[in-house]
Structure 1
Amino acid sequence: MDWFFKFPHMDDAALRALKKTIDEGFRGFTRAYGDTIESLFTPLQHFLIYAERFTTKTPWPIITLIILAIAWAATRNLRIVAGCLVTLLLIGYFDMWDDTMRTISMIFVCTVLSIAIGLPIGILMSRNDKVQKIVNPILDVMQTMPSFVYLIPVVMLLGIGKVPGLIAVVIYAIPPMIRLTNLGIRLVDRDVLEAADAFGADSRQKLFKVQLPLALPTIMAGINQTIMMALAMVVIASMIGVQGLGQPVLKAIANQYFTLGIFNGLAIVGIAIIFDRVSQAYGHRLQKHREIVHG
């Protein structure tokens, strides 16, 4: 009965030949087009460098005030603003300010890029069922693929550095942005859309003046999840040269520096809590405003 339980598989020699062909093909593609592909990401590299310079070179009181102002504008909650202040002061006190600012600049650029790419794809999915059927399986693979796997093709194409790490983080973090944009637009009440049609709104006006404003709380939830997933990727991305709080954690793992790992890990947690509370509170404010306007 052993033959019954034996799973059929490809011949070992054929499998090795297939793997070798794929590997050689990818190496050949990298050698031929790697420099061209790398040059396409030069503007992205400049954007990341400018964001990092701004956060690390600007005096800490100014950065702190900017973050607190953003937190207050988004939440109108003094407790959240006070929590942000305490977290930032503790980070500075334990000498983790520069690494934290590098991480924040990376997360900022990743979030901007995820919104710029994810929002149009989500809108397209919401307006075309065929596109949704094509994109959904791709998003399923992206969300279930182990995060380390993203590093392999990116490093082979672009080498080690900030931009490859940024691309890997964006690929890992963008699915919630796409999914929740699509969901938010699809959940807009049909009666509201019919009213917009009755007033003579075209498809563009309906999208920008009706659907996107009403879907904004759901889209904000997508941005929140994208930020959280980007932060979760920080330590892994540090393996290919992304500077920030991930590198000390990686160093602590390699050298068994317990306190270094714990402190920098807690700093990542603190930044994650700030982003989470601020974006969630802003989403709740948008939801309440929506309920007041349409209630």
Structure 2
Amino acid sequence: MSLLGPVEIRDLARRLDIRPTKKLGQNFVIDAGTVRRIVRTAELRPDDVVIEVGPGLGSLTLALLPEVRSVVAVEIDPVLAAQLPATVAEHAPGLADRLTVVLADAMRVLPEELPEERPTALVANLPYNVSVPVVLHLLEVLPSLRNVLIMVQSEVADRLAAAPGSKVYGIPSVKAAWYAAVRRAGPVGRTVFWPVPNVDSGLVAMTRRRPPATGASREEVFAVVDAAFAQRRKTLRAALASWAGTAAAAESALRAAGIDPSRRGEQLTVDDFARIAENRV
């Protein structure tokens, strides 16, 4: 099997008349060493079914196929989706039967649109502009996902993996923590992409865990999170006033949850937010 390098990527794009667009977040990986590193860091098992979002021209897809049972590639661009099986047949003919391509928007794709055998891992170079909603959506609709390894904009990687008290801790940090233990898994320089983006990237690893034990639903907890961070500089008593109905009701819910109303959202864990949601009157 041969992986794609800069020459092959540009040749494929030229043949397909592909001009990478910012709208679709298309920055193709042209460095074989980087895709090998992604696959290695993902710690995949031979029986894994991987869902790959935005496979593009197939750089990462080709590196994934020998390591797992199958790859489900979700691609929104019909030209790229149509080309991917041909690329795999050319560069890894013995592995072509392990690939399934789904033409769909990953932010809206549902389990019934995927093969019957559910994905156990998400490994992807996610488009910068939709990376957080994509990963949160897939974690929600695919409970079969055990592990995630995504490449995202460096600042987004920091936010996803941030701990309470960090300056970049916010909505993505808390919502990701609802589903998984999250950590930074290394930096990625901008020169491994074509076209070269104006920001660096980072790898984020997630390991599925049970959500907080709470009588509140995920939607109810996330509503508290959204309200708490909508006005970061305000105390929770003030920030949650509209969510609770009044500032006094917000204070009541906070005290019932064992949380000082003068604290701010960036100081709380996902378990704290769950207790607040549970104690709304």
TM-score (norm 1): 0.27
Q: Which fold has the larger relative contact order, with Cα–Cα distance below 8 Å and residues 6 or more apart in sequence?
A: 1
Q: If each structure's strand is expressed as a fraction of its own residues, which one has the higher value?
A: 2
In terms of Rg, which structure is larger? 1
TM-score (norm 2): 0.28
Q: If each structure's helix is expressed as a fraction of its own residues, which one has the higher value?
A: 1
